[in-house]
A and B are shown apart, each in its own frame.
Chain A
């Protein structure tokens, strides 16, 4: 029975804030972010790591949060899409997505943005091929990817084209 399972304490940092929650041992990071912390920006798309909609940054690496047990994140640092906005101002990646028309229904957008963030942290001047590879695990059904790739390229240091 669900109620009889002991929830375990989990302490970690999310978007710069120390957080402490009690979670069921089998709860995924995605569930805890969305349900316990009500950070609903990270999306459920498939629950099996095939679509990238649940992408977050875990200890500096982009991962599918649906494939991570919450308890694996004890002491870890998580960054979600909500953590990119500061004082109501859009992060440059978010602004680039908006300005380049890279958002249609928007459901894939948080995952795309986190995967893009991870890329640019590691490689501030990616080529188009490198951008595509970095986003190859993020599915989009609306945009056909072109403007998403353009948005990320516009942020490449050394000023890539403004498509």
Chain B
């Protein structure tokens, strides 16, 4: 039974001494800024070989023969393996993937063979000498093709090509329809995007003399990874050690065991030498699964006073040629459709369908960016239909703290209303709205977007501005995706007040290591520089389920803070005995035991520790442990349940400029307000929001991994467009601190939130500026111009006010 977290370490009057809420540089920043941090590709082991993979390069084919003789004959090649050389253990969420493919390939990035050689150059040459004979099979390029009569069966165990279907409902959608005064229906298409971690994927596998395997891995989930890998390579888990060097980005790309990883282990085993396998950037684009593309059909309604009545969701997912976490992203999409804003009646049906396209894994937001794009675009549309302010309609339906949502989520804290008001105020929402209506009347109330002749003739600006908003709802402390959502911490103090914190949680660049150190330093009243966090070796650290679902600050923080609190108790008791006081009369501040409330230092903490260690009557080292399991419940078979101990909320307001002649959308300003429970590291949390906004802008405006005929068209940074410094808008970021009672110091998670509402906020701003709603991402200039021209053409033929793609039905 978890004890309630409390805030006692921050006493009134001692705010200036607290670390909580301060701007703390990351502990590992100096290593990284000096170039001394050793990433995986910087590591070399003695006699290390270099691995490389032969990818199929074709989307659907039977493998008839693989001739590796020429590759094997090359000087410097130490091993060449195919599926016949290894035991094929199926893995992945759908158990439909193997490290190397034996009978057939089902997408272009399928792994067919691999080599280990003395140098990366030799390995690359050897790959080119492997001759594979294929019999091409008909290619399935879309879910529609996969479901058509006579469609090829992609995986024999799933003859209808539909490995998963999900259904969810709460309330009664038919009743909701009847109660609606306005109903909107639309289809939203969300594209494939790539994680684009700056550091490409890689692994080093190394066996010792006793057959124990050490893997240097970029995994975000070391303990689950170890368990999975053990099964795949046939080595007992206690003989596997996972070491995690600093990674060059994660964002969810590293929650799987990917085929290249057991492949590297097999190469190391075959050669009895360490093998390092690192992707080139092109391999990274081709062979790292993407965000799950989705086609979302959404119908929703409201009463004329703006209260929401129902949502009816249909989702079709292109599962690609193998199953990874993408297939499960609808579970998180569901949570937004069912629970962002109050809505009494919700129904959702999802079909997950095999194709021969590349497949999808987890990516920051995990189905929520897609769902929120659809939902918040449609909420905006409902507001437009009702003639309501988009801010008003959201406030009217905002979730309140203490509520339980239709899907069983308990909103212990909820700052949605404050986020809405804060973001709107900071963005100048009311003033900007009136400016936009002024702009509309200058162009003619129904003449948006203006046709070209009139704007030229009137020398009117072809650039218009708009403002739009969107909110987010996401888990704030994990999503109970596994039997345990917990994290273990072991803590020890040395004789001089140095603290080592062994945490099962991982640092993936997001700053969790620094937050943990902050909390421990705060609890123990020791300087931050005394704290060392060890988090990268499964032989040393206790179990953690892994970095995902925005859980690390909450779960690992709670675990570390409680271990530290126990150590604090031991210190205070020892100090009390030594100083002949009561523990509650003492505090630990800046390396000293101090008297309360005066703050007068009485003794150094180091002396207390040494007194315990070398005491005459007793000898004790301060070592504590804590395994924290959050008080959440896994979803039941109806997808109901309070899967997280707390939930994150937020609002983004985007101000954009649209060039009506070229379709270029420029984001001028983003105002973000996030309910984070409590800010622990202000520098770190701002960085999370700023980074999420940049990813969201890319998702909205320019990123797309283009797949045509099951092949990737743009696997390079030249043609896969990330935002650069010159695309950075003005930012205004606020935090709402709702002090969650279950959170460490009241904190909730934020890792994924900042990405989630960005695209719909921008798309809603584009609608505000132009009167045109676009329901497909990305909003490239070409797509925006096409939709603007379509709207102009529609208006010319129908003489109506600008229509959108939405079908509307008003209750008669």
Inter-subunit contact A53/B198 (CB<8 Å): yes
Residues A46-102 near B (CB distance < 8 A): 46-48, 50-51, 53, 80-82, 84-85, 90, 94-95, 97-101
Note all chain A residues with C-beta closer than 8 A to B25: 98-99, 101
Contacts of A103 in B (CB 8 A): 26, 28-29, 32-33
Chain B, residue nearest A146 (CB): B690
Which chain A positions have C-beta within 8 A of B28? 103, 106
B464 contacts partner chain A, Cβ-Cβ < 8 Å: no
Contact indicator A101/B35 (Cβ below 8 Å): no
Q: Determine whether the beta carbon of A105 is less than 8 Å from that of B248.
A: yes
Q: Is the CB of A80 within 8 A of B35?
A: yes
Asked if A141 and B35 sit within 8 Å, CB to CB, the answer is: no
- Contact indicator A141/B695 (Cβ below 8 Å): yes
A82 to B36, CA, bound (A): 7
Q: Mark B10-34, 1 if CB is under 8 A from A, else 0.
A: 0000000000000101101111111
Taking CB atoms, residues of chain A closer than 8 Å to B717 are 46, 48, 50-51, 139
| Contact of B687 with A142 in the complex, beta carbons under 8 Å | yes
Across the interface, do B728 and A145 meet the contact criterion of CB distance under 8 Å? yes
A106: which of B246, B683, B693 is its contact (CB, 8 Å)?
A: B246
Of B384-392, B416-424, B477-485, B504-512, the stretch lying at the interface with chain A is: B504-512
**Docked complex Cα distance between A105 and B40 (Å):** 13
Interface residue? A155 (CB, 8 A): no
CA distance A103 to B510 in the complex (A): 10
A32 touches B (CB below 8 Å): no
- Cβ–Cβ contact A90 & B508, under 8 A: no
Q: Are B33 and A90 in contact, with the CB atoms below 8 A?
A: yes
A110 touching B23 by the CB < 8 A rule?
no
CB closest residue in chain A, given B42: A40
Give the residue of A3, A109, A136, A145 whose beta carbon is less than 8 angstroms from that of B33. A109
Q: Fill in one digit per residue for B686-716: 1 if any A CB lies within 8 Å of its CB, else 0.
A: 1101111111000000000000000000001
Report if B39 contacts A (CB, 8 A).
yes
Interface secondary structure of A, over-half rule:
loop
Check: B458 CB closer than 8 A to any chain A CB: no
A104 surroundings in chain B (CB, below 8 A)? 26, 509-511, 687, 691
Known contacts: A101-B23, A107-B249. The answer to whether A146 contacts B728 by CB under 8 A is: yes
Q: Bound complex: CA of A136 vs CA of B76, how far in Å? A: 41
Q: Quick one: given A105-B509, A136-B724, A141-B196, are A1 and B75 in contact (CB under 8 Å)?
A: yes
Instruction: Check B694–A144 contact: CB distance below 8 A.
Output: yes
Residues on the A chain within 8 Å of B26, using CB: 98, 101, 103-104
In the assembled complex, the CB of B124 is this many whole angstroms from the nearest CB of chain A, namely 10
Are A105 and B508 in contact (CB-based, < 8 A)? yes
Tell me the B480-539 residues at the A interface (CB within 8 Å): 508-511
Main SS of the interface on chain B?
A: loop
Q: Does B446 contact A (CB under 8 A)?
A: no
Q: Find out whether the CB atom of A144 lies under 8 angstroms from the CB atom of B30.
A: no
When C-beta atoms are compared, the residue in chain A nearest to B717 turns out to be: A50
A39 CA / B34 CA spacing, docked (Å): 11
State whether A107 and B718 are in contact (beta carbons under 8 Å apart), knowing that A101-B687, A143-B687 are contacts in the complex. no
- Closest residue of chain A to B720 (Cβ to Cβ) is A50
Known contacts A85-B34, A104-B687, A105-B199; A44 and B29 CB within 8 A of each other: no
Minimum C-beta distance from A131 to chain B (A): 8
Query: Considering only CB atoms, which chain A residue lies closest to B754 in the complex?
Result: A144
The residue of chain A having its C-beta at the shortest distance from the C-beta of B281 within the complex is: A46
B760 within 8 A of A: no
Contact between chains at B35 and A108 (CB < 8 Å): no
Q: Does chain A have a CB within 8 A of B353?
A: no
A101 touches B198 (CB 8 A): no
Contact B725 A132 (CB under 8 A): yes
| Residue contact A98 to B248, C-beta cutoff 8 Å | no
B41 within 8 A of A: yes
User: Does B121 sit within 8 A of A, measured CB to CB?
Assistant: yes
Chain A proximity of B759: nearest CB distance (Å):
15
Given A106-B32, A109-B33; A45-B198 close (CB under 8 Å): yes
Report whether B509 and A136 are in contact in the complex, using a CB–CB cutoff of 8 Å: no
Q: Which of B247, B251, B716, B717 has the most CB of A within 10 A?
A: B717
A142-B249 contact, Cβ under 8 Å, with A2-B122, A85-B34: yes
Q: Return A75 CB to nearest CB of chain B, in Å.
A: 24
Taking CB atoms, residues of chain A closer than 8 Å to B695 are: 141, 144
Within A124-151, the residues touching B (CB, 8 Å) are 131-133, 135-149
CB < 8 Å neighbour of A110 from B35, B246, B247, B686: B35
How does the 8 Å CB contact mask read for A1-35 relative to B, with 1 for contact and 0 for none? 11100000000000000000000000000000010
Nearest-neighbour CB distance to chain A for B367, whole angstroms, equals 20
Q: CA of A104 to CA of B689 in the docked complex: distance in angstroms? A: 12
Name A101's contact: one of B30, B41, B684 (CB within 8 Å). B684
Report Cα–Cα, A44/B683, bound state, in Å.
28
Q: Is B119 among interface residues, defined by CB-CB distance under 8 A?
A: yes
By a CB distance below 8 angstroms, the chain A residues around B726 are 132-133, 136
Looking across the interface, which residue of chain A has its beta carbon closest to that of B687? Answer: A101
Residue of B nearest to A152 (CB): B725
Distance of B17 from chain A, by nearest CB (Å): 20
A51–B26 CA distance with the chains assembled, in angstroms: 24
Cα distance A39–B725 in the bound complex, in angstroms:
27
Ranked 9 nearest A-B pairs via Cβ:
A41-B35, A106-B32, A105-B509, A107-B248, A144-B694, A50-B717, A144-B690, A101-B683, A40-B42
- Can you report 17 residue pairs joining A to B where beta carbons are below 8 Å apart? A34-B42, A40-B38, A40-B42, A45-B198, A51-B198, A82-B35, A104-B687, A106-B248, A107-B248, A141-B197, A142-B687, A143-B694, A144-B695, A145-B694, A145-B725, A145-B728, A147-B687
Q: What is the interface of chain B, defined by CB distance below 8 A to chain A?
A: 23, 25-26, 28-39, 41-42, 75-76, 119, 121-122, 125, 195-200, 246-251, 280-281, 508-511, 683-684, 686-687, 689-695, 716-718, 722, 724-726, 728, 731
Known: A106-B246, A145-B724. 13 other contacts (CB 8 A): A40-B38, A44-B41, A50-B717, A51-B281, A90-B33, A101-B684, A105-B248, A105-B249, A109-B33, A139-B717, A142-B249, A144-B693, A147-B687
